[in-house]
């Protein structure tokens, strides 16, 4: 393979890989939720129901794609694309194996945080453009939730950055040669996992959506593939957070015997399953509880963690 082709292969590999995983998650999640509820889950389409995402895709493309006449049309159409775009852009900095990364930015962690921040626009604009009170309520919640959890998310990663001495993802993985960062940065890992859940507004923290109170929250008015985009974005977000937990705290591609890429994928898969397990088992907190835990518990914790880590790094 010629040298110029490698980046192209990596870029398209990551793009298609991420989208395939996100589609596959539809099947995986429903299957796992089924098993955890003593059901079977989808097992009819293809072997083990593996072609279920394909059937869902065909169905959702056939659906009427309705744009409400009272909506802000342009924003309404653009909003679902934003979440998919920002999450896909974040995948650019995830190192799959030594040297295999789309963009080896020296501000990798910051780039991810910036993209996560932009992702909030998708939800807020979708809720606003829908011109629907439930959608607006969902968007309000989403904006508050995502903005406040971004704070701890960023701060929880600073410990890792301090220890590794670099924002570059590959350097962070290399710095975990002797010890995975989950051990010295256990608090950081916990807070990052919780904030990641909240950031991708997955089930324990799906207050922007909360179908039991807000119809479907910010995407109440969406149908067809625009609705599908929000879902693809959500599953991409789950994959991204899982991949980042694997890279930042569990040594990324590092591991014995197996090739690096396999280790990375295995770890990512494990955390995806953990995300789904959280969804299967935990109820949704009340909105004030969510905010209280965020600002009164996680923020002091993560600040203390940052201070102690900083002191230790200075003392060395």
Instruction: Tell me which residues in 2-61 interact with other proteins (CB under 8 A).
Output: 32, 34-40
> Distances from the Cα of 73 to the Cαs of 131, 136, 215, in angstroms?
10, 16, 21
| Number of residues near other proteins (by CB under 8 A) | 13
Smallest gap from Cβ 41 to other proteins, in A, equals: 9
Enumerate residues 6+ apart whose C-beta is below 8 A from 117: 146, 150
> Cβ closer to other proteins: 57 or 190?
190
| Rounded distance between C-alpha atoms, residue 108 and residue 94, angstroms | 8
What single string gives the DSSP state of each residue in 104-169?
--TTHHHHHHHHHHHHHHHHHHHHHHHT-HHHHHHHHHHHHHHHHHHHHHHHHHHHHHHHHT-S-H
Is 280 a binder of other proteins (CB under 8 A)? yes
Smallest gap from Cβ 212 to other proteins, in A, equals: 19
Is 277 a binder of other proteins (CB under 8 A)? yes
> Cβ closer to other proteins: 46 or 224?
46
> Cβ closer to other proteins: 258 or 277?
277
| Rounded distance between C-alpha atoms, residue 115 and residue 121, angstroms | 10
> Cβ closer to other proteins: 39 or 73?
39
Is 311 a binder of other proteins (CB under 8 A)? no
Smallest gap from Cβ 48 to other proteins, in A, equals: 13
Is the CB of residue 140 less than 8 Å from the CB of residue 130? no
Smallest gap from Cβ 315 to other proteins, in A, equals: 31
With CB under 8 A as the contact rule, which of the stretches 22-30, 230-238, 253-261, 273-281 interacts with other proteins? Answer: 273-281
Pseudo-torsion of CA 301, 307, 311, 314, nearest 10°? 130
> Distances from the Cα of 94 to the Cαs of 197, 208, 307, in angstroms?
18, 27, 27
| Rounded distance between C-alpha atoms, residue 35 and residue 40, angstroms | 5
| Rounded distance between C-alpha atoms, residue 24 and residue 20, angstroms | 6
Please identify which residue in 261, 281, 295, 310 interacts with other proteins, judged by CB under 8 A. 281
Smallest gap from Cβ 165 to other proteins, in A, equals: 33
> Cβ closer to other proteins: 168 or 279?
279
Enumerate residues 6+ apart whose C-beta is below 8 A from 233: 80, 83, 84, 87, 119, 122
With CB under 8 A as the contact rule, which of the stretches 213-221, 241-249, 277-285, 303-311 interacts with other proteins? Answer: 277-285
Please identify which residue in 62, 81, 282, 307 interacts with other proteins, judged by CB under 8 A. 282
| Residue 246 CB neighbours (<10 A) | 26
Q: Which tokens in the block code for residue 139?
A: 């968007």
Is the CB of residue 241 less than 8 Å from the CB of residue 275? yes
Is 289 a binder of other proteins (CB under 8 A)? no
| Rounded distance between C-alpha atoms, residue 247 and residue 264, angstroms | 8
> Cβ closer to other proteins: 282 or 312?
282
Smallest gap from Cβ 37 to other proteins, in A, equals: 7
Smallest gap from Cβ 166 to other proteins, in A, equals: 33
Is 270 a binder of other proteins (CB under 8 A)? no
Smallest gap from Cβ 29 to other proteins, in A, equals: 14
Point out which residues bind other proteins (CB under 8 A). 32, 34-40, 277-278, 280-282
């Amino acid at each position: 393979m010629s040298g110029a082709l490698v980046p192209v292969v990596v870029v398209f590999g990551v793009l298609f890989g991420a989208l395939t995983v996100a589609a596959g998650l539809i099947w995986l999640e429903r299957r796992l939720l089924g098993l955890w509820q003593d059901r079977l889950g989808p097992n009819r389409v293809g072997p083990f129901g593996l072609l279920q995402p394909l059937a869902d895709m065909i169905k959702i493309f056939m659906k009427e794609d309705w744009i409400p006449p009272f909506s802000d049309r342009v924003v309404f159409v653009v909003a679902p694309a934003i979440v998919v775009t920002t999450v896909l852009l974040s995948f650019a900095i995830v190192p799959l194996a030594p040297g295999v990364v789309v963009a080896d930015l020296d501000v990798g962690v910051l780039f991810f945080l910036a993209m996560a921040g932009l992702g909030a626009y998708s939800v807020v604009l979708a809720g606003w453009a829908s011109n629907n009170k439930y959608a607006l309520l969902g968007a309000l919640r989403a904006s508050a939730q995502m903005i406040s959890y971004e704070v701890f998310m960023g701060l929880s990663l600073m410990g890792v950055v301090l220890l590794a001495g670099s924002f570059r993802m590959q350097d962070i993985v290399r710095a975990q040669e002797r010890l995975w960062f989950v051990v010295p940065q256990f608090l950081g890992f916990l807070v990052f996992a919780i904030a990641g859940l909240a950031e991708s507004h997955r089930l324990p923290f799906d207050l922007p959506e909360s179908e039991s109170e807000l119809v479907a929250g910010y995407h109440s008015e969406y149908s067809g593939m625009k609705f599908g985009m929000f879902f693809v974005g959500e599953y991409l977000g789950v994959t991204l957070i899982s991949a980042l937990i694997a890279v930042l705290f569990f040594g990324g591609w590092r591991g014995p015997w197996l090739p690096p890429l396999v280790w990375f994928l295995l770890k990512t898969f494990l955390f995806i399953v953990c995300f789904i397990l959280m969804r299967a088992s935990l109820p949704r907190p009340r909105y004030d509880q969510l905010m209280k835990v965020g600002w009164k518990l996680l923020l002091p914790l993560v600040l203390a963690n940052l201070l102690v880590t900083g002191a230790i790094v200075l003392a060395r």
